[in-house]
Structure formats: C-alpha cells, structure tokens
A and B are shown apart, each in its own frame.
Chain A
Amino acid sequence: MTVVDLPLARSSERTRTTAWWGVAMVILTEGTVFAILLAAYFFLRAASKDWPPPGVKLPDLKTAVPASFLLWGSSLPIFAVEAAARRGRWGVVRAGLLVSWLMGATFVASTLKDFQALHFGWRDNAYGSIFYTIVGLHAMHLVVGLTMSLVVQAKSWLGRYSPARHASLEVFSLYWHFVDLVWLAVFPSLFLSVRWR
C-alpha cells in the first residue's frame, strides 16, 4: 500500500482561509506599530517636565467622545454582516456594510475637522508631532479600511460572494475590528490620560 487515503479535517478546524491568516499577521505587525508609537508617546512624556508643553491647549473632548463611540459602534454591524454572509443573506450584508461605512466615515470627517480646530501644529513641539502622527496614522488606517469596504460592497452587489467563499469580506471585517480596537488604546492614551494628573 503506497497510497494513503486520508479523511478530511474535522469541519471545526477548517474555518480560516490563508487570506484570513495573512491579514491576521498583518494585524500583528500593525498592532506592534501602534504599540511602539504609544510607547514613544509615553517615553517622550516621561522625559519632559511638562506634558503637554506649557501653553498648549488639550484637544477638545466635546466631539471626540461621541465620534469615538460612533467608531466603536461601527464594529457591531460588521458582526451581523459576518453572520449573514455565512447564511447567504446578502441584503443584510449590503445594508450592514453601508451603515458601518457611514459610521466610520463620519468619524474620519470629525477627526479631520478636529485637526483644524487644534491649537497646536505638528512642528511646534514633540507633543504636537507625536499627537498628529498617531491620530493621523490611525485615520490613514481608517481610510484604507473604508476603501476596502467599498471594494467589498461592490463585490457583494455584483454577486461575487457565496456563503462558503467570501474571503475578502472576512478579511475586511477582521481589519475593521482591528482598527476599532486600536482606537480603544489610542483614545484613552492621547485624550484622557493627559487630563488625569
């Protein structure tokens, strides 16, 4: 007997595509990027006498807080979308993606508006530099996520998905959750922790 007949893997073991694993690894390294940036933020802060430097007015919370909740909330429709896609309910998928996209886009718009209202620039001091860099990088990730969402939405309208195969949708969902989670670390560090001292 030189040929071995093999059983298939148990179905519980076959849920993730290579694409999903690939994006999971991207997230690992991207997560490290944000972790290191936040570490740099606290490093600079620990090495400075005053933080933020005297005369710098802290970013406003009035719009930032509701906008943040909007962003975190935008993950919820995605959970529904994932479940619906596995059941082939494409109407729910399309609606959920659209709602989530709008929530995310609103957040990005409000961030950009907040940037304009800030009383400090990125060249003024290290505080400004690291603030803009972290928030800006996160916003860039959101823009990438929103673009991905558009591609995924187009695919869902064009009927390129099936309940068994919708890797790009899975991948997008994972990425979107990640970007939300990052804000969960960034927001308290940059906006709240400076106020508690």
Chain B
Amino acid sequence: MTVTERPADPLEPAPPELAGDDLRELWEDAPGLVGFFTTVDHKRIGIRYIYTAFVFFSLAGVSALAMRAQLASPNSGLISPGTYNGLMTMHGTTMIFLFNTPVLAGFGNFLLPLMLGARDMAFPRLNAFSYWVFLFGGMFMYSSFVVGHLPDGGWFGYVPLTSSTYSPGHNIDVWGLGIIFVGLSTTVGAINFIVSTFKLRAPGMTVNRLPVFVWSMLVFSFMVLFAVPAVTLAEVLLELDRLAGTAFFVPSLGGNVLLYQHLFWFWGHPEVYILFVPSIGMVSTIIPVMSRRRIAGYLWVVASLVAIGFISFGVWVHHMFATGLPPLAISLFSAVSLVIALPSGVQFFAWIATMWRGKVELAVPMLFCLGFLLIFLLGGITGVMVAVMPFDWQVHDSYFVVAHFHYVLNGAVVFPIFAAIWFWFPKMTGRALPERWGKVSFWVMFIGFNITFFPMHILGFLGMPRRVYTYNDGLGWNGLNVIVSVGSAIFGLGTLFTLAAVLIAARRKVPVPDDPWAADTLEWATTSPPPVYNFAAIPFVEGRHPLWDVERLRRARPGAEADVGLEVDGAVGRSTPVTSGIDTLPEGVLHIPAETWVPFLVALGLVTLLVAALVSALTVAVLGLGLAVGAATTWAWRTEADLR
C-alpha cells in the first residue's frame, strides 16, 4: 500500500486535559458478550453489517453455483425442480435484501459519522435496532432452509402464483413476512442517515462541501423512504390475502393481479438504483483519491445523483412491458427509461475527466473501480436496449435480461463494494491487506465475471427463458451454458482471494498509517482504526476536501456562548455537536446514549412475535409482543433524559 509524506496526525491534537483515556473511558463498550449485544457504536455496527451481509452473499453465491451446476447440462437431474426454484428465489432475494442493501448500509454506518466529523449517528440505539432486525429477518428467511421448504415464487413473487391457492405452504409466508421485516430495518436505517446528515455535520461542512459518498447515502435514504412502503404494502396485501382471506389479488372477487406487479416494481425499480447510488458514491470517492486530484464536476455528479433519485420513480412500468398495458401509456415509460441514462452518462464522463487530468495509481481499489467502469458501461447500454419497448418484448424474461441485471447488480454494485473493502479495510482495522492477493482477486473476478455473464446475452437471443430448472437437448444452448457455469466458478474463486486476503491481514497484523491513501475526507483525519469516540476534537471544515484544502485541519471550539451547554469537545459527556442545517454553526450537543439492551430486546420481541404468529403459537406471540412493547416503552420513556 502506498504511503505518503503527509503528517501522521493531520488533526490538531486534543488538549492534554481531554486526551485519550478520559474519552475512552466514557465511550468504551462493556467488555465481552455484554458489549456485543448492547453496543451502539456505529463502527462496530457498521462492520457487523458488512460481515453479516457477506455471510448471506456466500449463501446466495453458493446457491447460484448450485443452479449453474444444474444448468451446465441439458435435462440434468442434479437438482429437483422444486429445489431449483427455491434456490433461484433465495438467490435473488438474498442478494437484494440480505446482501446488497445491508452491505451498503454497513459502509454507510461505518463511514457516515466519520466523514461528517461526528462521534456517532443521530440515533445510535435505532442503529443497533436496525442491525438486529436485519439479522433476525435474515435468519427468519433462512429458517426455510432448515425446515427444508424454500420460498419458490421467484424474487418478485408474482400473484396468483404466490396466493394460497397455488402456494399453500408456509414458505411463501416466511418470504413475505421476512421482506416486510427487513424493510423495517432499511427504513429505520435511512431515517438515521438523513437526520445524521442534516444535524451532525462538523462545523463548516456546508451543503456544497458534503462528500459525494454522503450525498449518495442521502439520496439512497430518501429513495428508501419513498420506495420501501410499496414493497411492504405489496407483501402486506399478499399476506392479508393468504392469511386473512382478503381479495386484493383475486380477479373473481374484483381483485387485480397487476396491482401486485405495480406495487412491487414501484419499489423494485427504485430499489435497483437504491443499490447503485451508494456504489456511485464509493466510486466517486475512490477514483479521485487514486487519481490524486479532486473529482471533476462535483456539482454535475451530485446533481445526477439527485436526478437519478427522482427519475427512478417514473420508470417502474418498464418491467411490465409485456403485461398487455396500452402501448401509448407504456411508451411513455419507455421514454423516461431512456432519459435515466443521462445522469449515468454525466457521472461516467465525470469519472473519465477525473482520471484524464489526474495521476492514476492502479492500486487494488482502483482496479476494482476500473472493472466497474468497463462492466457498468455494458450493463448500462443493455439497459437502454431493454428500455426500447419492442426489443424488450423479445428479450424480457430471457437470459438477456439476466445478463443485463448481473452486469449492473453484480458488476456495478459488487465491484464497487470490493473496491470499498480494499479502500477502507485499513481504516476499519488498522491493518494492511496483502496487495498481491487483491490484484489476483480482481483479475480472476473480472475475467470470471465476463465469462459468466457475457454469454447470457446470446442465450437470450437463442430463446432461453429465465427461471427454467432445465432445458431440452438440441436447442443450441448446451455449449454456452457450460461456459457460463465454468465462469461462475471462476468468479466465485476470485472472491475467495479477497476473503483470503482479509484472513491473512487478520493473522499478519501489518499496521498501516492512519491515512495510507493520502485521501481527502475526514475519516482519514483520525487514527486507524478510529478510537471509539472517533475524534478527540471536532474538526473545523474549510473546504470540500478537508484534508487537501488546508495544511492542517483546525479544531472547532464554541464561541463566547459556551455557557449554553455547548461542549464541542464532548469530553464531559458522551456527546457530539449538533449544527444548524444551512450555515453549519454549532447549536447544541446531542447526547449519545450509553450501551443498552433495549434495541436487541425490541428486535428479539418482534421476531418472536413473527415466528409465533406464523406457527400460531399464541402464548409465545403474546410474550414476544410484550417484550417488544415493554422494551420500546422504556426506550420512549428515556428519550427526554437523553436529550438533556
């Protein structure tokens, strides 16, 4: 890893009377297991999010490999049709709900307060709560593996297939309720990101100085608030139909099956950009650092992020081109889907422009970013192609679409996530990753990726529909399917090199300097790993690139009016400054609650309620509800004290 000449401690050291130990004592979690369950530290929670999400990634990845083994030869009997459909459903569901969204929330959690120069999130307990809800929700969904009855309605679970008539088992309920549950976690997290960004920015970090990654998390969060209700409702109405006998999706009783599709995609389309937007933020952070210059067209990039957020709510019908809607209505959605290519184009050229005049360093994170650029470009172009309605009538629900969305989901989201791992791992752990392993990992992944997903375009043209557990011999699909399956193993192997690198780093304990990349944002102004309290002294931000704009970061101190209880240093209590929304001047402090069992208990109560309701165990359900309500009331009761 490259080390630069920058002073080891770019932030003015805290005055001696406030230094290390006092703060540490105030902020440190209880040791051991108790601390594990009660912590509200955004860094611990963020890292926890990331590795939990990667456990789910491996599960979904292994499911994909199993599917590919089945599809490697025609008429294969390796996996039964029912199991294949279950693996396919769980692969898609896991990747979207239990890997991609949470892993991004994890990076957001770890990075956001550090980038803002704050000591934690606005609602630390809510943060812990959203993690536990995600974990329990994921375990709840995966309990179907233990029971041996996987959800098998596909990742969008269209009715009437998922109605109780055609899917009488509990597997669909596990899926539907699980989605509702995980959606709660995402929503709560989004609220936390928004309020933290609004109120906890370090003094001086005005709107036009927000790091692009923070912008991207803000857009992500607002999109979550407006999109997630739709999928929650889709699944609530589905479960009402299934469990309470309502008639939302029963045509013979005036219900409508397209209503479900509209609800699902009104979330589903924004969702894919919800996943993409933080990736843009990561790439826009890493490329400038690796090009040793500020990002070209900051305003353009930010404006396109916001534009993507808006436009993505107007294109959901492009997933329903074949449902027989009136052509005039759908050609409008076709047009808007073309328009959404524009903000992506702007960002793309901003990244090129950044490298164009920069000094490019091909460290591992940068390699992953380049891989992202080359893959996303193709995935974006095929996206524009499927937005052209008549063409989509042909390739919709064929492997061409599977190719498109893996180029974007796996290419344009997973590659930036790997870049982020390689970029921020030193910050998270204080240890160096072995560079060589990273290079191998990248090249194996990049090559494996294209071997896996490029031939899928051709399979689509040859008429291979998606979600088939097998196919007839002699259709001309055999050879390509073998290539795809081999490629998927290569890609999987590539990810293992990164996993190995992380394990090696954990064993070798090679220390890194605090700012190994000579980067510009505030997370690099503190030690690696950051102390529990993040910053001993709160930095004062004087530009868009705090660590590049000035020789030495200055420290913010409240003015003459410190008597109103403004303790920017926060040493006398667990607190972080609250600043005003527009000019980011201090307006008070936010007390950061100490570690607590409450979030864990509320989440536990809720998941108990969920499981008990599903298996109709009334007493247990009441117990769960009681636990959740009781713990939540304690939480609400203590609010005022915390604000003091």
A interface, CB within 8 angstroms of B: 1-10, 13-14, 17-19, 21-22, 25-26, 28-30, 32-33, 36-37, 40, 43-44, 47-48, 53, 122-130, 132-133, 148, 151, 155, 160-161, 165-168
Contact = CB atoms under 8 A, between A and B. Distances in A.
Nearest to A151: B636
B559 A5 contact: yes
Chain A interface, >50% SS class: helix
Nearest to A137: B236
Interface in B524-576: 540, 552, 554-561, 564, 566
B199 A8 contact: no
B537 to A, nearest CB: 8
Contacts of B247: 123-126, 128-129
B626 to A, nearest CB: 15
Given A4-B540, A9-B586, 19 more contacts: A2-B554, A3-B556, A6-B586, A7-B560, A10-B585, A18-B578, A21-B194, A21-B195, A25-B194, A28-B225, A30-B229, A33-B233, A37-B233, A48-B254, A123-B245, A125-B255, A160-B640, A165-B644, A167-B640
B643 A53 contact: no
Contact of B255 (A6, A10, A129, A155): A129
B498 interface: no
Given A2-B555, A44-B259, A133-B246, A126 B191 contact: no
Given A8-B559, A32-B225, A33-B233, A165 B240 contact: no
Contact of A127 (B204, B237, B254): B254
B203 interface: yes
Contacts of A48: 254
B644 A9 contact: no
Nearest to B123: A22
Nearest to A17: B643
10 contacts: A5-B557, A7-B561, A8-B558, A10-B580, A21-B122, A21-B194, A21-B195, A22-B126, A36-B229, A36-B230
A133 B187 CA distance: 22
B590 interface: yes
Contacts of A125: 247, 253-255
B587 A168 contact: no
A194 to B, nearest CB: 14
Residue of A22, A53, A130 with highest tally of chain B CB at under 10 A: A22
B420 to A, nearest CB: 26
Contacts of B255: 44, 125-126, 129
Contacts of A133: 237, 240, 246
A4 B554 contact: yes
Contacts of B253: 124-126
Contact of A8 (B12, B122, B245, B585): B585
A122 B263 CA distance: 20
Nearest to B254: A126
A40 B229 contact: no
Interface string B180-213: 0000000100111011001100011000000000
Interface of B: 12, 122-123, 126, 187, 190-192, 194-195, 198-199, 203-204, 225-226, 228-230, 232-233, 237, 240-241, 244-248, 250, 253-256, 258-259, 262-263, 266, 540, 552, 554-561, 564, 566, 578-583, 585-588, 590, 633, 636-637, 639-640, 643-644
A71 to B, nearest CB: 23
Given A40-B259, A126-B255, A129-B247, A3 B555 contact: yes
Nearest to A28: B225
Contacts of B246: 122-123, 126, 128-129, 132-133
Contacts of B555: 2-4
B256 A126 contact: yes
Contacts of A7: 559-561, 585
A133 B637 CA distance: 31
A54 to B, nearest CB: 11
B64 to A, nearest CB: 32
Nearest to B194: A25
Nearest to A171: B639
Nearest to A148: B636
Given A33-B232, A36-B266, A126-B247, A6 B585 contact: yes
A7 to B, nearest CB: 5
B262 A9 contact: no
A6 B633 contact: no
A6 B122 CA distance: 22
A133 B233 CA distance: 11
Contacts of A17: 643
B578 A2 contact: no
Contacts of A40: 233, 237, 248, 259, 263
Given A4-B557, A8-B585, A32-B229, A22 B640 contact: no
A14 B258 CA distance: 47
B284 to A, nearest CB: 25
A1 to B, nearest CB: 7
B43 to A, nearest CB: 20
Contact of B240 (A8, A124, A129, A151): A129
Given A4-B556, A7-B585, A122-B246, A18 B259 contact: no
Contacts of B199: 18, 21
Nearest to B200: A18
Query: Of residues B122, B229, B637, which shows the largest number of chain A Cβ atoms within 10 Å of its Cβ?
Result: B229
B228 A29 contact: yes
A36 B561 CA distance: 47
Contacts of B244: 122-123
Nearest to A35: B229
A181 B583 CA distance: 32
Nearest to B246: A129
A99 to B, nearest CB: 22
A97 to B, nearest CB: 16
Nearest to A27: B225
A2 B557 CA distance: 10
A150 B639 CA distance: 15
A125 B247 CA distance: 5
Contacts of B556: 3-4, 6
A9 B552 CA distance: 25
B579 A9 contact: yes
Nearest to A20: B195
A13 B581 contact: yes
A26 B191 contact: yes
Nearest to B568: A6
Given A18-B195, A19-B643, A29 B636 contact: no
A6 B230 CA distance: 44
Contact of A130 (B203, B248, B262, B643): B248
A29 B226 contact: yes
Contacts of B191: 22, 25-26, 29
Contacts of B266: 36
Nearest to A12: B580
A4 B117 CA distance: 15
Contacts of B583: 9, 13
Contacts of B560: 5, 7
